[in-house]
Amino acid sequence: MPARSPQRLLWERFRRDRLALAALVLLVVLVLVALLAPLIVSLVGARPPDEQSTAYLDAFGSATGPGSANLLGTDELGRDVFSRVLYGARVSLLVAFASTALILLVGVSVGLAAGYYRGWVDTFLSRVTDVMLAFPVLLLALGLGAACSIGAGCLTVDYGRIGVGLILAGAACGGLFVLWARSRDRRAGNAELHTARDALANFAPFALVIALGAVLAYAVGGRGALIQPGLPVVVVIVALGGWPYMARIVRGQVLSLREREFVEAARALGASDRRILLRHILPNLVAPIIVATTLIIPASILFEAALSFLGVGVQDPQASWGAMISDATGTFDTAWWYMTFPGVALVLTVLAFNLVGDGLQDALDPRTGT
């Protein structure tokens, strides 16, 4: 029997879990719906999501329910709920992916650095993580959102400049790191860092990732963005809430990995830090990171919905499932439809991610498989 690549093996195992497979299909459908929302809306003949209309409100301003004119009813401004649910998928998915990318970026970097280099780097980073974890996250998010008066409040600056600033900051950190490394080198001549060049080389991947993040930030929030303003702040806030968990998990994994024999062997053979990190540690981190990511994505979606529910998420008229539920709280006893449908959409989306995540976990860890 020819040897199968690990990816192939993973896929085979994943496929066997039919529920997870169905969930994956659902996810693909969801992404398609989000991307093709305008097309679907026009095909079905529904009105655009922003279109207000008093024709569907009664004399007291109450909305009409599902019917021939509006598939899923209207909200209190006469907007078509069906269209808004479809467009709401965009916000949820975009926030989920963008903020998860940010979380990975920051969390993995911090966790790696803390776990591998130990010493005061670890102490400092771990303390920062601890303080972040101590913050009541939702409160902090609320406060930042309210303070930034979402709607391009805090992040009104030019994203290109932010990106450049990030790169410069990264370079500055890298430079400081190099200096520190050299001084350690001179003092202790130990095997941790061979040359300053090595330290710089270690840091290069970080800088690259930061640059990527800057580009992503620009793409998400810059001119011609897919979504109205308000999104960048939400993405940042969700990422702010999530990175400590990723950092903790990664740090824990790195701590145990670095004591393993193959790492000791590599070091004994004279491998540099970067080599060890890239060839030995990172590959073994992929599985736990994937598992953590599958937990973080649905949590991010729910977090964004919670922020929108509390009024500090994406702005009107951009449709967001959480905001739609929030709008419905005053009238859900008489107008059940615009609370129900966004909620169901949320549940289905998060459920799909959770199922896929579970399936991945099972596929990655053969012991829990059949």
Partner 1 sequence: MRRLARWATVTGTLVALATFGAACGSSDQGSTTASQGTSVETVPQGVKGGKVTVLAAGDVDFIDPGQTYYAFGYMVDYAVMRPLYSFAPGTLDTAQNDLAAGPPVLSDGGRTVTVTLRPDVRYAPPVDRAVTARDVKYAIERAFSANVPNGYAFNYFSVIEGTPKEPTDGVKPISGLQTPDDQTLVFRLKTKESGTLVAALVMPITMPVPPEYAKPFDAKSPSTYDQHVAFTGPYMIPNDPKTGKITGREPGKSIELVRNPNWDAATDYRPAYLDGITIQEGNTDAAVSSRRILQGSGLMQGDNAPPAPTIKQAVQRYPDQLKFVPALGPRYVSLNTSIPPFDDLNVRKAVNAIFDRTAMRLTRGGAIIGDIAWGYLPPGFPGFAESGGLKPPAEFDYLQDPDGDPELAAEYMKKAGYPSGRYTGDAKLLTAAINISPGSQTAAVAQNQFEKLGFKLNFRSLSPETMTTKFCGTPQAKVAICTNVATSADFVDPEALLKPYFYGPAITPSNNANWSELDDPKINAAMDAASALPPGDERVSAWADVNKQIVASAAAVPWIWDKTPLIASKDVQSLGNAYLTSWDLSFTSLKP
Partner 2 sequence: MGAYVVRRLLWLIAVLIAVSLVTFVIFYVLPSADPVLLRAGKNPSPEVVQSITHTLGLDRPWYVQYGRYMERLVLHLDLGRSYQNDASVRHLLWDRLPATLALAFGAMVLWLLIGIPLGIFSAVRHRRAGDRVVTGVSLLLVSAPVYWLGLVALYVFSADIGKLRWLEGAGSYPTHGTIFTNPGEVVPSLILPWIVLAISFAAIYARFVRGSLVEVLREDYIRTARAKGLPERTVVLKHGMRAAMTPVVTILGLDLGILLGGAILVETVFNVPGIGRLAYDSIQTSDLPMIQGTVLAGAFFIVLLTLVVDLVYAFLDPRVRYGQGAP
Binding site for partner 2 (CB under 8 A): 130-131, 133-140, 142-144, 146-149, 154, 248, 251-252, 255, 298, 302, 305-306, 309-310, 322, 325, 328-329, 332-333, 336, 339-340, 343, 346-348, 350-351, 354-355, 358, 367-368, 370
C-alpha distances (whole Å) from 129 to each of 11, 110, 114, 122, 186 are 35, 9, 10, 10, 30
Using CB distances below 5 to 8 A depending on partner kind, what does residue 264 bind out of partner 2, partner 1, none?
none
Pairwise CA distance, residues 361 & 370, whole Å: 13
Residue positions counted in the chain? 370
* Nearest one of 353, 140, 90 to 243, comparing CA atoms: 140
Using CB distances below 5 to 8 A depending on partner kind, what does residue 237 bind out of partner 1, partner 2, none?
none
Shortest reach from residue 201's CB to partner 2, in Å:
28
Q: Where are the alpha helices (DSSP H) in the chain?
A: 6-16, 18-44, 81-103, 109-117, 119-134, 137-147, 159-188, 196-221, 231-258, 261-268, 273-275, 282-309, 321-328, 337-364
Q: By three-state DSSP, how is residue 320 classified?
A: coil
Task: Indicate the residue among 92 and 315 with the shorter CB distance to partner 1.
Answer: 315
Shortest reach from residue 2's CB to partner 2, in Å:
30
Using CB distances below 5 to 8 A depending on partner kind, what does residue 54 bind out of partner 1, partner 2, none?
partner 1
Task: Indicate the residue among 55 and 268 with the shorter CB distance to partner 1.
Answer: 55
Using CB distances below 5 to 8 A depending on partner kind, what does residue 139 bind out of partner 1, partner 2, none?
partner 2
C-alpha distances (whole Å) from 320 to each of 27, 35, 162, 172, 184 are 18, 15, 27, 39, 51
Shortest reach from residue 243's CB to partner 2, in Å:
15
Shortest reach from residue 147's CB to partner 2, in Å:
4
Angle subtended by helix axes 137-147 and 282-309, to nearest 10: 60
Which token pair is 143?
């406060």
- Interface residue list for partner 1 (CB under 8 A): 50, 52, 54, 57-62, 76-77, 146, 149-153, 229, 311, 315-317, 327, 329-331, 334-335
Using CB distances below 5 to 8 A depending on partner kind, what does residue 316 bind out of partner 1, partner 2, none?
partner 1
Shortest reach from residue 138's CB to partner 2, in Å:
6
Using CB distances below 5 to 8 A depending on partner kind, what does residue 160 bind out of partner 2, partner 1, none?
none
